[in-house]
Amino acid sequence: MLPDIKSLNREEIESRFAAWNQPAYRVAQLLDWLYVRRATDWNAMSNLPKALREKLREQFTLQTLELVHKQGTEDTTQKFLWKLADGALIESVLIPANPALYGEASDRHTLCISTQVGCAYGCKFCASGLEGWKRNLDVQEILEQILAVERHVTNAQRAVAVADAPGVPRGDETGGETPPEPAGGTPAPPGSPLEAASPPATRNPSRTVDNVVVMGMGEPLANYDHLLKALKILNAPWGGGIGARKITISTSGLAPQIRRLATEPLQFRLAISLHGATDAVRNRLMPVNKKYPLAELVAACETYQRVKGRMITLEYILIAGINDSLDQVCPLAGLAKRLFAKVNLIPYNRVEDLPWQRPSEEVCEGFLAALEKQKITATLRREKGGDIDAACGQLRLKTERALAGA
């Protein structure tokens, strides 16, 4: 099978182009098509010579994600279900930072992305692990989630703008797959001196996603190499241009990989899915705790915190009768203090077929207040009726089961 062009970083494309005797500026042009204009077709790359496009087509794929289903609307959380080239399904969730009031579009967005098809870690409360692990996502499948969402949002906005423009017939509103015009205007004709001088892609003018959280389906640190390569491309000025501090990696607690992440030069944010502040509670919920018990996990987090000097987030799902009693507050506050961490409390989202329940609002508020009394910085997610906010993995599970039933 051919590799996908978006699984290569800049250096790899440069060395390939050098071997093909292509001038260096062609690399910048290609990257501009891939990451700024988000092209989905080699033919669209009009300033690359036809022979080069043919060569690229022979040696690489240019895959995109097929949208199978979307829940939510422009101004709310939107959940995208994608089909990959082999038919596997994954999800990404786009969350507006300021849910728009009075019909104005929100301008800041966080995208939650997946890193694996399914998950091998089998946390007892999670939909992603219910049917086991199928495979790791490739570099380009991780990256494409951001590009595909941005293409979708840009096309939707363009369709609305065209429909709103006076005198434009409705038949003209198909956004299609045509890439948007570059900020600098029409590209220079192929081969012209102007073309060589055209500026390289350093900034994406039409970025929809400004924060990325790697909290979708799968355990990101179990797909370490693909994840890191994808995140480096996402971070690079010639790629996605998203700052490392705007990228959060969430892990169920793979201690050795946390230590490895601490050696990376980029300053990613780290979130730990803790969900229990003692081994007894955590063992009940997360099999990974048997392999890397709290002492080992916390030691790895301490290293990360020390090396990076960055605040870690401890994610704590509140599950009725399992981890929501106040006797977890002291050990949780102790861990948070040791790690200079803040705590995110998340009332459990019900998963079909699983017995777990979300505690009452009073219990959640009481847990938060008890933590704050211990001088811990903590937040409690309060939105109600998490139909589509439901944790990643649920939409895929439902769809796969419906397909199997059919």
Please report, as ranges, the residues that interact with ligand SF4 according to CB under 6 A: 119, 121-123, 126, 128-129, 218-219, 252, 273
77 binds ligand SAH (CB under 6 A): no
- Taking the least distance from each CB to ligand SF4, the nearer of 139 and 346 is 346
Closest contact distance (angstroms) between CB of 28 and ligand SF4 is: 37
Site for ligand SAH in 100-129 (CB under 6 A): 125-126
- Cβ neighbours for 193, distance < 8 A, ≥ 6 positions apart: none
Rounded Cα distance, 319 and 325, in Å: 10
- Taking the least distance from each CB to ligand SF4, the nearer of 232 and 396 is 396
Rounded Cα distance, 125 and 65, in Å: 28
SS3 59: helix
- Taking the least distance from each CB to ligand SAH, the nearer of 118 and 187 is 118
- Cβ neighbours for 54, distance < 8 A, ≥ 6 positions apart: none
391 binds ligand SAH (CB under 6 A): yes
Residue 66 annotated in active site: no
Residue 91 annotated in active site: yes
227 binds ligand SAH (CB under 6 A): no
Rounded Cα distance, 143 and 237, in Å: 15
C-alpha closest to that of 182 among 200, 194, 157: 200
Site string for ligand SAH, 334-353 (x = CB under 6 A): ------------x-xx-x--
Q: Which does 255 bind (CB under 5 to 8 A by kind): ligand SAH, ligand SF4, none?
A: none
Q: Determine the Cα angle at 201 with ends 41 and 1, to 5°.
A: 40
136 binds ligand SAH (CB under 6 A): no
Find the catalytic residue in 91, 144, 150, 219: 91
Q: Determine the Cα angle at 140 with ends 95 and 146, to 5°.
A: 20
Contact (CB, 8 A) for 4 and 61: yes
Q: Which does 349 bind (CB under 5 to 8 A by kind): ligand SAH, ligand SF4, none?
A: ligand SAH
Which helix (H) or strand (E) segment holds residue 90: the answer is strand 89-96
Rounded Cα distance, 234 and 221, in Å: 17
* 90, 111, 117, 215: residue in contact with ligand SAH (rule CB under 6 A): 215
Q: Which residues are catalytic?
A: 91, 392
Which chain residues interact with ligand SAH by CB under 6 A? 125-126, 215, 219-220, 250-252, 273, 315, 317, 346, 348-349, 351, 391
